[in-house]
A and B are shown apart, each in its own frame.
Chain A
Amino acid sequence: MNSARTPWTPGPTQLLLIKLLLIALCLLPLARLFGDLGPNPPEFVSRHTGTWTFNLLLLTLSVSPLRAWTGAHWLLRLRRSLGLLTFAYALLHFASFALFDHELAIQAIATDIVDRPFIAVGFAALLLMLPLALTSSNRAIALLGGRRWQELHRSIYLIGILAAIHYLWLAKITTYFYPLTYTLLLVLLLAWRVGARLKKASAPAPGFRGGSQPIKFFREKPDR
């Protein structure tokens, strides 16, 4: 941010290519689902889609810090794709649960969401993602207004926290390593935001140094 050199910025065509490449890369893990799924295929599908939801969520939350550190403001232009991909994986994750655990029986799905707290938390996160996905367009930003849109999209922090609870809650003492690692990464990404906000708050308000006065451009009021 403070570096004098402005970092490389892609042109419109380059940006489009980068975006397409990024989307293709993020969809690549889906190819794994067409390979050998091991002895417990439903569990594999569920874990794989769940893990990639979290990976993409963390990646989405990394855009702002990366942008601040590198000064590469164009990174922001990739965030919408990452967020929508996160939502797509979350939907697949839920679909695998609905299909393999309950054979798509609505009643059974609803009961399970109520009965198992870690599923309720995961489901809450999914529901909260829905308005964000629906407002992921320039039109929605214009319609809501930038400030309100931004306030709405801050719920991604809550979604992240719910995702971490969901992951931790389904683990047991012998399997805490991955959920704890993901939680730590999330905490770091959220802490950076708190830090950035505090820094902004403590920075002196723009004013005039040493009691100097604004320059008067006109000695007299101009004629009307």
Chain B
Amino acid sequence: MLIKNNDPAAPCPSEITGKDLYQGRRRFLRQAGALGGALWLGQAEANPAPAQLPPFKPGQPLPDEPLTSLDTLTSYGNFYEFGPNKDSPGRNAHTLKTRPWSVEVDGEVLKPRRFDLDELLRLAPLEERIYRLRCVEGWSAVVPWIGFPLAELIRRVQPTGNARYLEFWSLADPVQMPFVQYPTLDWPYREALRLDEAMHPLAILAVGLYGQVLPKPNGAPVRLVVPWKYGFKSGKSIVRIRFLEQQPRTSWMKAAPDEYGFYANVNPAVSHPRWSQAKERRLGEFFRRPTLPFNGYAAQVASLYAGMDLHRNY
């Protein structure tokens, strides 16, 4: 029997379940499933690590650019501490121990200190940020990170008047990271930003992905995400943030100074010495699409580089 409700005063279904919630129903189910799974696993495993993030504010999807799947994001990428191939981190990163974990913040700050991971997770309200990720090699993805603005952490340690740069140190433990014993890059992996870049609201410290704790191949438990720069600028598994007066030389600048500059802003007009950066291949797609200046974030970040020669400051 069909019950027709023609009462004009009756609420429309979309008033009961909001559009956002309705469209995010699969994610809601996934999160609920992950929570259930986490609770169940929590019983089974001796590891006291909570597999669940504190609540976070959902992010704004990119129009016409679907998310890259979690499976793709965890099985494809560069994390050279775990091996040279794209599938190395997915295969090898399980040896990473993400708890206990802390991040040492020192250098040109008034309040140098160590942040425990649990403290970082509650340092500021967590929010989802759906960002494009553009690798310097020419592939790209759309990633639903969860984190908080790096500026929140910077504010708490009070940089001195001398602080002009931030250097990010990734973990380099040969026991957990088998490839750190090979002298390929200058370990530990170090990356850096100018202070004003680091303070920009788009720059975040990510602690989660797809509503869950950051997976190990993606730089668990805490990593940098700077969406307008090539991926290698966003250090993974961060253990130290050092405030400096002078611009430091990063691991990649030491390895190949003519190929990897300090800024590494995504720029279709400036070629890598060995290939053009005009186009990129979105993971899962067959053909290439044009790369956008500053990876599509020019409106927000281009002013940081006003008056700079971006060909020289690559």
Q: Give the CA-CA distance A117 to B272 in the complex, in Å.
A: 12
By a CB distance below 8 angstroms, the chain A residues around B276 are 112, 115-116
CB-based contact B281/A40 at 8 Å: yes
Interface status of A216 (Cβ within 8 A of chain B): no
Which residues of B (71-96) have their CB < 8 Å from a CB of A? 71-72, 75-76, 78, 80, 84-87
Contacts of A169 in B (CB 8 A): 274
Q: Give min CB distance, A46 to chain B, whole Å.
A: 11
Q: Which residue of A lies closest to B283 (CB)?
A: A39
Q: Does B287 contact A (CB under 8 A)?
A: yes
**Contacts of B286 on A, CB cut-off 8 Å?**
41-42, 100
How distant is the Cα of A190 from the Cα of B85 in the complex, in angstroms? 29
B181 at the interface (CB under 8 A from A): no
B84 near A40 with CB under 8 A, answer no
Shortest CB-to-CB span from B186 to chain A, Å, is 10
Is A101 within 8 A of B288, CB to CB? Answer: yes
Query: Among A38, A40, A115, A172, which residue has its beta carbon within 8 angstroms of that of B256?
Result: A172
Q: Determine which of B80, B281, B283, B287 lies in contact with A174 in the assembled complex, contact meaning CB atoms within 8 Å.
A: B80
Shortest distance from the beta carbon of A181 to any chain B beta carbon, whole Å: 12
Give the complex CA separation of A174 and B255 in angstroms.
10
Specify which chain A residues have a CB less than 8 angstroms from the CB of B283 in the assembled complex.
39-40
B255 and A173 contacting across the interface, CB-CB below 8 Å: yes
User: Is B274 in contact with A117, judged by CB distance below 8 angstroms?
Assistant: yes
**In the bound complex, how far is the Cα of B275 from the Cα of A170, in angstroms?**
9
Whose C-beta in chain A lies nearest to the C-beta of B259? A172
**Cβ of A39: which chain B residues have Cβ within 8 Å of it?**
71-72, 75-76, 86, 283-284
Q: Are A42 and B281 in touch, CB under 8 angstroms?
A: yes
**Per-position binary interface string of chain A over residues 156-177, scored 1 when its CB falls under 8 Å from any chain B CB and 0 otherwise:** 0000000000000110111111
The distance in angstroms between the C-alpha atoms of A40 and B138, with both chains bound, is: 11
Residues of chain B contacted by A103 (CB below 8 angstroms):
287
Q: Which residues of A contact B259 (CB under 8 A)?
A: 172
CB distance from B245 to the nearest CB of A (A): 29
B184 within 8 A of A: yes
Whole-angstrom distance between the Cβ of B255 and the nearest chain A Cβ: 5
Tell me if B185 is interfacial: C-beta within 8 Å of chain A: yes
Cβ contacts A40-60/B at 8 Å (1 or 0 each)? 111100000000000000000
Does B243 sit at the interface, judged by CB under 8 A? no
A116 neighbours in B (Cβ, 8 Å): 274-276
A177 and B76 contact, Cβ closer than 8 Å, known pairs A41-B286, A100-B286, A100-B287: no
* Contacting pair A174 B274 (CB below 8 A): no
Do A38 and B274 touch (CB < 8 A)?
no
> Are A174 and B84 CB-contacts (below 8 A) given A40-B139, A42-B281, A43-B139?
yes
**Contact status of A40 and B185, CB under 8 A, knowing A101-B288, A116-B275:** no
Q: How far is the CA of A56 from the CA of B268 in the complex (A)?
A: 37
Assess the B75–A38 pair: CB atoms within 8 A: yes
Please determine whether A177 and B84 come into contact, CB atoms closer than 8 angstroms.
yes
* Residue from A101, A116, A172 having most chain B Cβ neighbours under 10 A: A172
- In the assembly, what is the distance between CA of A38 and CA of B288, in Å? 17
In the complex, what distance in Å separates the CA atom of A174 from the CA atom of B85? 9
Asked if B86 contacts A40 (CB within 8 A), the reply is yes
For window 69-127 of chain A, which residues contact chain B by CB distance below 8 Å?
A: 100-101, 103, 112, 115-118
Most-contacted residue by chain B among A103, A117, A173 (CB, 10 A):
A173
**Could you tell me if B84 and A38 are in contact, using CB atoms closer than 8 angstroms?**
no
A174 pairs with B72, CB closer than 8 A: no
* Chain B min CB distance to A128 (Å): 22
Complex CA–CA separation, A173 to B184 (angstroms): 6
Give the CA-CA distance A116 to B277 in the complex, in Å. 12
Chain B 258-302 interface mask (CB, 8 Å, partner A; 1/0): 010000000000010011100001011011100000000000000
Additional A-B contact list (11), CB under 8 Å, known A40-B86, A43-B281: A38-B75, A39-B75, A39-B284, A41-B286, A43-B139, A115-B276, A116-B276, A172-B256, A173-B184, A174-B78, A175-B84
CB<8 Å pairs between A and B, sample of 15: A38-B76, A39-B71, A39-B72, A39-B283, A41-B284, A41-B286, A43-B86, A43-B139, A116-B275, A116-B276, A169-B274, A172-B255, A172-B259, A173-B184, A178-B84
